[in-house]
């Protein structure tokens, strides 16, 4: 996953950028679950200098007019790693719609696999184009010391919205509105150009489609035709592996966190 590099007071800008570059290169080579290679969905080149300047002017005007609601959105979506808010919301939504057990675990797994691959693919494109992030005097969150095209959090939003819409198709518009807000929060914060967010979300949706294709063929919809044993058999029903316990504890911890009332 991407790691924002924060320089200490003693670090030089060149050293900071070099460290960020190295960490992002590592992110681009991270394991993927749906993509065979991080470059499979590499985006096209970013806008040129003239369009970038126009975007920068618009960003500055947007930053100058931030209100309390904008600052709340920025702070909310900037919390944690890219999957953080999406995992919270997916669990809350599933819980409120009577989806639990294996179905809820499957949803979270599909969504997070898509988010992971979207972020890794974003790092590949960022390393390819090295587009600098906006330079505004009034950032409200720390600007990552990495290239910004396409934006990785917008990519996470695109991936998550597509998987959620697959599992809960009746609320596709709701999930799209969440992704709108998440992606635009990066622009409002002044750490991404509008074209960074647009490219990131488009990339994320493509990865989300791969997750949907996987889900449609994972056999989860097949009707079970077996029989239920009446007595436990230690030979075939061993205790749950520790990894399952860890997953269960993680989900319980997430459920215990307070989620804003508008999150579902």
Residues contacting residue 52 through CB under 8 Å, at least 6 positions apart: 46, 193
The answer to whether 164 and 212 have CB atoms below 8 angstroms apart is no
Residue 141 sits in a domain whose CATH number is 1.10.606.20
The pLDDT value given to residue 2? 31
208 vs 96, 179, 199, 202, CA distance in Å? 23, 13, 14, 10
Tell me, yes or no, whether 65 lies in a domain.
no
Residue 171 lies in a domain: yes
Which residues form the domain of 205? 73-218+239-264
Q: What is the pLDDT of residue 149?
A: 97
Domain-located, residue 18: no
Structural domain count of the chain? 1
pLDDT at 42 over 50: yes
pLDDT at 132: 94
Would you say residue 28 lies in a domain? no
pLDDT at 249: 58
75 or 18: whose pLDDT is higher? 75
pTM passes above 0.85: no
**Which DSSP helix (H) or strand (E) runs through 173?**
helix 172-189
For residues 152 and 141, the model is more confident at: 152
Q: What's the pLDDT band for 16 if we cut at 50, 70, 90? A: very low
In a domain, 32, yes or no: no
Please report whether residue 113 resides in a domain: yes
Average pLDDT, the chain: 84
Interval 83-141: pLDDT, tens: 999 999 999 999 999 999 999 999 999 999 999 999 999 999 999 999 999 987 677 88
The Cα–Cα gap between 151 and 204 comes to 10
Average pLDDT estimate for 154-175: 98
Q: At 217, phi and psi to the nearest 5?
A: -125, 20
The three-state DSSP-derived secondary structure of 75-101 is HHHHCCCCHHHHHHHHHHHHHHCCCCH
Residue 162 domain-assigned? Answer: yes
On the question of pLDDT at 257 being above 90, the answer is no
Tell me, yes or no, whether 6 lies in a domain. Answer: no
Check residues 37 and 223 and name the one with the higher pLDDT: 37
């Amino acid at each position: 996953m991407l790691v924002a590099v924060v320089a200490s007071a003693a670090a030089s800008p060149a050293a900071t950028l070099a460290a960020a570059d190295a960490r992002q290169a590592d992110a681009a080579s991270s394991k993927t679950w749906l993509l065979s290679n991080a470059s499979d969905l590499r985006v096209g080149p970013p806008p040129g200098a003239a369009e970038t300047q126009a975007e920068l002017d618009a960003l500055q005007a947007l930053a100058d007019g931030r209100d309390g609601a904008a600052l709340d959105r920025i702070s909310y979506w900037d919390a944690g790693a890219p999957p953080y808010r999406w995992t919270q919301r997916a669990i809350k939504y599933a819980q409120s719609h009577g989806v639990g057990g294996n179905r809820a675990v499957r949803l979270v797994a599909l969504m997070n696999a898509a988010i992971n691959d979207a972020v890794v693919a974003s790092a590949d494109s960022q390393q390819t184009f090295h587009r600098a992030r906006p330079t505004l005097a009034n950032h409200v969150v720390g600007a990552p010391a990495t290239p910004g095209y396409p934006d990785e959090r917008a990519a996470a939003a695109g991936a998550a919205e597509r998987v959620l819409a697959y599992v809960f198709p009746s609320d596709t518009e709701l999930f799209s509105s969440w992704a709108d807000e998440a992606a635009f929060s990066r622009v409002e914060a002044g750490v991404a150009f509008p074209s960074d967010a647009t490219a990131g979300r488009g990339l994320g949706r493509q990865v989300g489609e791969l997750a949907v294709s996987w889900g449609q063929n994972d056999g989860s919809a097949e009707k079970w035709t077996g029989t239920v044993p009446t007595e436990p058999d230690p030979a075939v029903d061993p205790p749950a592996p520790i990894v399952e316990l860890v997953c269960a504890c993680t989900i319980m911890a997430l459920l215990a966190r307070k989620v804003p009332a508008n999150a579902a």
